[in-house]
Amino acid sequence: LGARLAPPTPSGSGGSGRGDASHLTPRGGAGVMSRPERGPELGPGGAEVAAEDAEPESPDQCLSLLPWDRFSAWLHCVCVVGFDLELGQAVEVRAAAGGGHRSPCGLRRGPGGIGRFLWPRYCTEAGEARPCLRKRGCAERRSGERGSAPKDSAYYYGYVYFRQVRDKSLKRGYFQKSLVLISKLPYVHLFRTMLKQIAPEYFEKSEAFLEAVCSDIDRWPPPVPGKVLQLPLMGLIMKLRIPTYRDKPGTTPIVQNMHQADAQISMALPTVHEVDLFRCFCPVFFHIQMLWELVLLGEPLVVMAPSPAESSETVLALVSCISPLKYCSDFRPYFTIHDSEFKEYTTRTQAPPSVILGVTNPFFAKTLQHWPHIIRIGDIKLPGEVPKQVKVKKLKNLKTLDSKPGVYTSYKPYLNKDEEIVKQLQKGVQQKRPTEAQSVILRRYFLELTESFIIPLERYVASLMPLQKCISPWKSPPQLRQFSQDDFMKTLEKAGPQLTSGLKGDWIGLYRHFLKSPNFDGWFRSRQKEMTQKLEALHLEALCNENLVFWSQKHTEVETVDLVLKLKNKLLQADREHLPVKTDTLKKLQTHINDIILALPDDLQDILLKTGTT
């Protein structure tokens, strides 16, 4: 993405103009280095590779960090996008962790690139907007670092703060500029909070202020799942907890009671990634259960909203409503005609893909009219306003650009409507219950509904795991039994969702549909990986409990050497795949390897001690 903090240099210039990065020096005095981003890849089922109990950084680890390594753990880059009537939109300033010309797909200098997503056609008056973007990037597979926050290697998230102010000196009549944080971390609440704090001041103080912000971020500790962190930002200190894949939505155990030792904390964020659920669903909350089914099944969904901010929040709310189940299809909080997938997602020659799109351009009312499920929302209501009940409408009624708000679909829900949650939320609105409290109620409802649905699947998949007594140190780890849809369906009669949910309806039909969805595929792949790793870990423990030296004494040198090489590969696999193995077990296995080698002739010892794992 170019220099750490530099506007694009005009051709023919030496780059010595205002904003040139040549005078900037990162912490430690070293120059900017072009390095690939580090961080684990997000697995198909979520952050299962992240360690909750990761050790804090040692002094040696701190010394090994290159300048801006800490910055790149949180952000890919920071961009300032300006809008000019003659030149169009252009990335004016780019703050990135790497130098050189390496940049993610679709993010370019000069006119176009990410600037196209931020063209202010949606803002006709002076004001500010804070949409969220999600864009497909270069899918680079990287080995994960144990204890780091998971990153989605295929996508970039863009958190935007757009400002428009009247300025008669400009031909367009407005000053228009966006500050954009680009990251692979889906921490929407954290980055929006950051933008709210730094963007107004940046627009007053310009590049020098942005440099100071980046320096602060480069002092942050890494985002280790399960850790409570204190992050300094331009005189403020934010206290937050990085979520783990085991966290239930709405239950992040951030310390709410500020102790005397925390007097210097400026703000405590109860979440880094959750949105205001009730505010987002308020326009259509009479149909929240049907929307939950559509998201669960990975159905193609379009959200047509009056602004990018409302589009973004509604899409993010939809994706989160099936949590703790991970939504495994694509979703675009703010989708525009400039997206590289525009043709792919709008073509009528094939069925719409499994994706959730958030749009604002009236052009999409016609272009996406063939999509099976469309949510049209008006302006999000203020707290205290009782939303009107909006009926589900047939898609054929979505013809005009001024179509009324509502859910346009021919979908018939599998489950009977839960009138109780609707009455509870309606009563809360009438009693002017805070939206935060309404969101807690709604999130708990979604959580209980999702858990009631997924628990029978978890129980059945756990039964596919071989018994521990079947694990022999002298044989390869046993394989998981195959998933059988018929066998699973038979378990539902006695151990189905009726044990935890009072909802009636066609649960069997819902499960059959779900088993064909991308969400099931992603969830099952994740569980397969988790159980396979558990089998490998148990196999390692079984090896450690054997007297391997005694075994080697009864076998030939060729067999012993083969055993040593296999054991070394086991250690490498444990590290590479982050197997759930205790450190003591790995040390014990290494001791076994050393003892076996020392019992061999000197010439073989020299070879095996020099031979690494493959």
Q: Is residue 270 part of a domain?
A: no
* pLDDT at position 420: 93
Residue 113 lies in a domain: yes
Domain end point (choices 402, 437, 472): 437
Looking at the structure, tell me whether residues 315 and 463 fall in a common domain: no
pLDDT at 290 over 60: yes
For the cut 50, the answer to whether the pLDDT of residue 18 exceeds it is no
One domain for residues 567 and 431: no
Q: Are 368 and 392 spatial neighbours (Cβ–Cβ below 8 Å)?
A: no
Higher pLDDT, residue 378 or 597: 597
* 530 domain-assigned: no
138 and 281 in a single domain? The answer is no
> Which two tokens mark 446?
């979604």
Domain end, chosen from 517, 538, 562, is at 517
3-state secondary structure 245-282: CCCCCCCCCCCCCCCHHHCCCCEECCCCCCCCHHHHHH
Q: What is the DSSP letter of 67?
A: T
Please give the residue that has the higher pLDDT: either 610 or 463: 463
121 in the same domain as 43: yes
pLDDT of 523 above 50: yes
The answer to whether residues 84 and 216 belong to one domain is yes
Q: Is residue 28 part of a domain?
A: no
Residue 284 and residue 339 share a domain: yes
Task: Please answer whether residues 328 and 298 qualify as being in contact, where contact means their C-beta atoms are separated by less than 8 angstroms.
Answer: yes
Pair 511, 550 in one domain: no
Contact status, residue 439 vs residue 280, Cβ threshold 8 Å: no
Q: Do 88 and 123 belong to one domain?
A: yes
Of the listed ranges 110-119, 175-184, 196-205, the one predicted with least confidence: 110-119
CA nearest neighbour of 516 among 481, 485, 482:
485
Question: In terms of residue numbers, what domain contains 592?
Answer: 546-610
What is the arithmetic mean of pLDDT over 6-21?
A: 37
3 state SS of 151: strand
**pLDDT value, residue 59:** 43
End residue of a domain, out of 437, 465, 483: 437
- pTM of structure: 0.80
Query: CA 250, CA 379: separation in Å to the nearest integer?
Result: 25
Percentage of the residues of the chain whose pLDDT score is greater than 70: 73
Residue 217 CA to its chain's centroid (Å): 20
Q: Which residues pair with 602 in a beta bridge?
A: none
CB 178 within 8 A of CB 210: no
CA distance linking residue 117 with residue 133, whole number of Å: 8
Higher pLDDT, 427 or 46: 427
Q: Give the pLDDT band of residue 460 (cuts 50, 70, 90).
A: very high
Q: Please indicate, yes or no, whether residues 419 and 325 belong to a single structural domain of this protein.
A: yes
* More confident position, 433 or 172: 433
End-to-end CA distance of the chain: 35
Torsion angles phi and psi, residue 155, rounded to 5: -135, 150
Confidence of residue 391 (pLDDT cuts 50, 70, 90): low
Using pLDDT thresholds of 50, 70 and 90, give the confidence band for residue 456: very high
Top mean pLDDT of 25-39, 313-327, 358-372 is at 313-327
Domain assignment of residue 237, yes or no:
no
Most confidently modeled of 71-85, 395-409, 523-537? 523-537
Q: What is the mean pLDDT of the chain?
A: 78
DSSP conformation letters of 117-146: GG--TT--SSEEE--EEEEE------PPPT
Instruction: Work out whether strand 155-166 and strand 174-183 pair parallel, antiparallel, or are unpaired.
Output: antiparallel
Decide if 541 is inside a domain: no
Q: Any idea which of 8-12, 87-91, 113-117, 450-454 has the lowest mean pLDDT?
A: 8-12
- Same domain? 303 vs 385: yes
The answer to whether position 261 is within a domain reads no
Please, which pLDDT band fits residue 283 given cuts at 50, 70 and 90? confident
Q: Are residues 349 and 321 in the same domain?
A: yes
The answer, yes or no, to whether residue 271 has pLDDT greater than 50, is: yes
Residue keyed to tokens 């004001």: 127
* Residue 243 forms part of a structural domain: no
| Cα(303)–Cα(332) distance, integer angstroms | 10
Query: Residue 118: is its pLDDT beyond 60?
Result: no
Average pLDDT of the residues in 582-602 = 90
**pLDDT given for residue 98 in this prediction:** 55
User: CATH no. for residue 406?
Assistant: 3.40.50
Strands 355-359 and 301-304, sheet pairing: parallel
Structure confidence by residue, pLDDT tens digits, 27-52:
333 332 223 333 333 333 333 333 33
Residue 421 has pLDDT above 80, yes or no: yes
* pLDDT value, residue 106: 39
Report how far residue 360's alpha carbon sits from residue 178's, in angstroms, rounded to the nearest whole number.
18
Residue 396 pLDDT > 50: yes
Amino acid, single-letter form, for residue 244 = T
Distance CA 233, CA 265 (A): 11
* Residues recorded for the chain: 614
Same domain? For 301 and 187 the reply is no
pLDDT reported for residue 49:
33
pLDDT in tens, 193-249: 999 999 988 888 778 888 899 999 999 999 998 889 999 999 889 998 888 877 777
Answer yes or no: is pLDDT of 121 > 60: no
pLDDT at 294: 98
Mean pLDDT of 88-105: 60
Q: Nearest CA to 49 among 123, 149, 129, 126?
A: 149
Chain-centroid distance of CA 240 in Å reads: 17
Report the number of distinct structural domains present in the chain: 4
Count of other CB atoms within 10 angstroms of residue 480? 15
Q: From CA 507, how far away is CA 524, in angstroms rounded? A: 19
